Chains A and B, each alone.
Chain A
Amino acid sequence: MKIPLARIAHARSGDKGDTANIGVIAYQERYYPILVREVTAERVKRHFGDLVQGEVERYELPNLGALNLVLRRALRGGGTVSLRVDAQGKTLGAALLRMEIEVGEHELEEGP
């Protein structure tokens, strides 16, 4: 079934120049494999469309049950140059949580 990513993960985003990053964190450790499977760099790039002009890189942190997504050329110049209302990419984490992901019903069941 399809669910929004927000059901199983939370996120925070920020900037370094024209690059934004999003830390995506599974609410429970057992959801981490779903993140790894569903939240791929390609799907994230597609989700943001022309908002992200450069590449998307993905890093895995299994110890934290989290992914770090680095979005290049995502802030129209970034910092003080950008004319965007969200020049520092503060809302991009929330935007990612809208993404629809595919999960099996058994994956969301409560564990023992």
Chain B
Amino acid sequence: MIRIANGQGFWGDWLEAPVRLLEQGPLDYLTLDYLAEVTMSILQKQRQRDPNLGYARDFPPLMARLERLVRERNVKVIANAGGVNPVACAREVCRMAPSLKVAVVLGDDVLDRIDEFLAKGYEMRNLDTGEPLEAIRGRILSANAYLGAFPLVKALATGADVVISGRCADASLALAPMIYEFAWREADWDLLAAGTVGGHIIECGAQATGGNCQAGWQTMPNLADIGYPILEAEPDGTFVVTKPPGTGGRVDLHTVKEQLLYEIGDPRAYITPDCIADFTTIRLEECGPDRVRVSRVRGRPRTDFLKLSISYAAGWKAVGTLVYSWPDAIDKARAADRIVRERLARLGLRFEEVHSEVLGAGACHGPAAAPAPDPPEVQLRIGVRSQDRSAVDRFTRELIPLVLSGPPTATGYGEGRPAVHEVVAFWPALIPRHEIQPRVEQVP
């Protein structure tokens, strides 16, 4: 049996979580998932400004903090902290935690190969809209293939203490140590699917252990000290989901089921670079306090394609807010919204979208919300998006004047003008698997 924990569900997750997991232990592997869909584009911009950047900058100092414990307890760390510059990330880890042996997985970055792919006739159509990539060719900021678990396994085989990758499938981070330790093969589809399900359960960190859990949240123990998830994985593909003893949160059928269904499509076909997992075969049972056993996972052969994560510049946006108080707070907010829109129209500004919501009056649930009575206050929230930055910039000056020139009781403008942000959009596509050649390098 091996114990695999995940201490980071996204870049920006609780900084103490990986440290506490290692202290609480025992662990064999610690995985850290840093990359959301648009994180790659932010990192790409950072690398453009400085060729030594472009990775999750929280990671090297974290490894410095963990260095002694990782060595003493012989825990291997697997992280997709490399972003668009895994080698620079690895060098920084070596500098800050010099006693650790580091290996990197490369080959996911295909930004320089887009023209080659197009020339070969791969259209890389948007998986959601069907549009060919040609439509945004000139605006692409980053392009990475989701790699699977097997390149991570090769990196583990070098004897590294720390394995750093760029874009890889989230669930592959936890599957890799199972393949490595249990000598699973590339066609062991049921086993690979089982490990993938395990990886999916822990990839969002505390969302498996009671965080963001609808079921009984009021009685969820000690969320301030929530335990992050641990898999106790067996060579036969069964595993137990648990968390360190004495920590907050909960692991039961409810918390595990909510995470199993999180961000999936067809549950019969959960597609990763490693296999296709069938979630309708999974059997769950509570086998002790904060322990859920997972078994009977079935899998099918992997597809001949890898998913590409492409990001591109998609214009500019800004979101501004104003608060209105009782009486008639909702009506005042809606009147203010009409005034802003009329003033924008008179200026002749062009927007792709102007979207208004009244927070406190059904902004989240829309038509599904119950009609609101006259609340003590609401927040008007207006967002605009345009290819024309100056139009968005002008919008940011149109809210505060309403404090003196609009409906009464406008407040909450203390932050001043809202900021203008570049919109970096995500373009999911497919590429034949044989075009991508992952490789492993040891650093330094």
The chain A residues found within 8 Å of chain B, CB to CB, are 10-12, 14-19, 21, 23, 25, 27, 47-51, 59-66, 68, 70, 76-77, 79-81, 83-86, 90-99
Contacts and interface: CB of A to CB of B under 8 A. Distances in A.
A21 B369 CA distance: 18
B241 to A, nearest CB: 14
Contacts of A97: 214
Interface stretch (B95-103, B110-118, B167-175, B281-289): B281-289
Given A59-B267, A68-B264, A98-B365, A12 B259 contact: yes
When A and B form their complex, which 8 residue pairs have the shortest distance between CB atoms, in order from nearest? A23-B261, A83-B383, A49-B367, A51-B366, A83-B355, A95-B365, A14-B263, A91-B364
Contacts of B424: 80
A83 B212 CA distance: 23
30 contacts: A10-B214, A10-B254, A12-B207, A12-B212, A19-B265, A21-B264, A23-B260, A23-B261, A25-B254, A47-B368, A48-B368, A49-B367, A51-B368, A62-B280, A63-B282, A64-B260, A64-B261, A64-B282, A77-B353, A77-B425, A79-B38, A79-B425, A81-B314, A83-B353, A83-B384, A83-B385, A94-B214, A95-B369, A97-B214, A98-B370
Nearest to A99: B368
A16 B264 CA distance: 8
Contact of A49 (B207, B368, B425): B368
A70 B267 CA distance: 11
Identify whether the interface residues of B are mostly helix, strand, loop, or mixed: mixed
B334 interface: no
Interface of B: 37-38, 128, 207, 212-215, 254, 257-268, 279-284, 314, 317, 319, 353, 355, 357, 359, 363-370, 381, 383-385, 423-426, 428
B279 A50 contact: no
Nearest to A65: B257
Contacts of B215: 10, 25, 27
A20 B87 CA distance: 35
Nearest to A15: B263
A102 B283 CA distance: 29
Given A50-B367, A61-B279, A19 B385 contact: no
Contacts of B266: 59, 70
Contact of B214 (A11, A19, A50, A80): A11
A17 B428 contact: yes
A97 to B, nearest CB: 7
A83 B317 contact: yes
A90 to B, nearest CB: 8
Contacts of B262: 12, 14, 23
B48 to A, nearest CB: 18
B258 A81 contact: no
A12 B261 contact: yes
Contact of A70 (B258, B265, B359, B426): B265
A81 B260 contact: no
Contacts of B283: 63
A18 B314 CA distance: 15
B368 A76 contact: no
Given A10-B254, A85-B381, A17 B128 contact: yes
B368 A63 contact: no
